[in-house]
Amino acid sequence: MKKTLIIANWKMNPSNTTQAKVLFDEVAKVLKDVKKAKVVICPPFPYLSIINNQLSLIKLGAQDCFWEESGSFTGEISLSMLKDLGCKYVIIGHSERRQFLNETDRMVNKKIKAALIKNIRPIFCFGESKKDKDQGKTQNVLKKQLENGLRKIIKSDVKKIIFAYEPLWAIGSGKPCSPEEANVIRLFIKKIITQKYSRPIANEIKILYGGSVNSSNVKSFIQQGSFQGVLVGGVSLKPKEFIKLVKNI
Ligand code: PEP
């Protein structure tokens, strides 16, 4: 049975290590042997080392990385460092980084390639803004983000990428995309991958939805929307609600 992938993005929360440990332990003690889902928790960098997931099915992910291996890059974190801390996944190109830190498609592409080299699975985030959507530009914007993000990535590697469609207007707004609308986008993503690679590859890749997912709507994205998983922000900080979400898939 293929497991549904649930990625928890804690963003810049909670505010200290004690709270981070409490949050993780609360979730892990219930979800440590959950069968239907694969849960990946992506805490802020300083908490990666205090979250001990050795005996759990919960996997660890980071929220960003840098593409260089080492050197004079003040403030950056390499993939080797993330690997050393037990990260199996890394979120790349989240809209908040694109918006607040001017992260470009080119940088996203470099980070994805560096993660693939280190065998850490990239969670490649992309999505359109409200303005793009209102102007009918959604597909053009997504096509550009996908093509630029996947530049010079070969067939055998693209299968390792987890694609996360996150419409900006749905993130943190409490107004998710409808599963029907999200499914149209999922099929569009597959079309782009088919054109760039092949149909078998498009059928193999994992595509997630993210944006105001909660315990009541998660099932609709997996069942009606046919997504292979979800990326969860706000709800991942509420242990009871997050556990309910994972159990409701
Ligand atoms: C996100 O930021 O990736 C996200 C999906 O957030 P939220 O679930 O809060 O909309």
pLDDT digits (tens, 9 = 90+) for 83-101: 999 999 999 999 999 999 9
Residue span of the structural domain in which 125 resides: 4-247
pTM, whole model, 2 decimals?
0.97
Instruction: State the total domains in the chain.
Output: 1
Helix axes 239-247 and 17-31, enclosed angle (nearest 10): 30
pLDDT for 151: 98
pLDDT for 33: 73
Residue type, 14: P
- Indicate which CATH number applies to the domain containing 116: 3.20.20.70
171 Cα nearest atom in ligand 1: 10
Structure tokens, 201: 């590859």
Whether the Cβ atoms of residue 133 and residue 167 lie closer than 8 Å to each other: yes
Distance 198 CA to ligand 1 centre (A): 30
List phi, psi (to 5°) of 139.
-65, -35
List phi, psi (to 5°) of 39.
-100, 130
Instruction: State the catalytic residues.
Output: 94, 166
Ligand 1 probe mutation, 100, 213, 235, most atoms within 8 A of CB: 213
- Separation in Å, CA 43 to CA 65, 119, 236, 239: 13, 19, 10, 14
pLDDT for 161: 98
pLDDT for 75: 97
> Would you tell me how many other CB atoms lie within 10 Å of the CB of residue 136?
8
Is residue 16 helix, strand or coil? coil
Whether the Cβ atoms of residue 144 and residue 108 lie closer than 8 Å to each other: no
pLDDT for 139: 98
Question: In the structure, which protein residues have their CB atom closer than 6 angstroms to any atom of ligand 1?
Answer: 9, 166, 171-172, 210-213, 231-234
pLDDT for 118: 98
pLDDT for 55: 61
pLDDT for 195: 97
Residue ranges of the chain with per-residue pLDDT less than 50: none
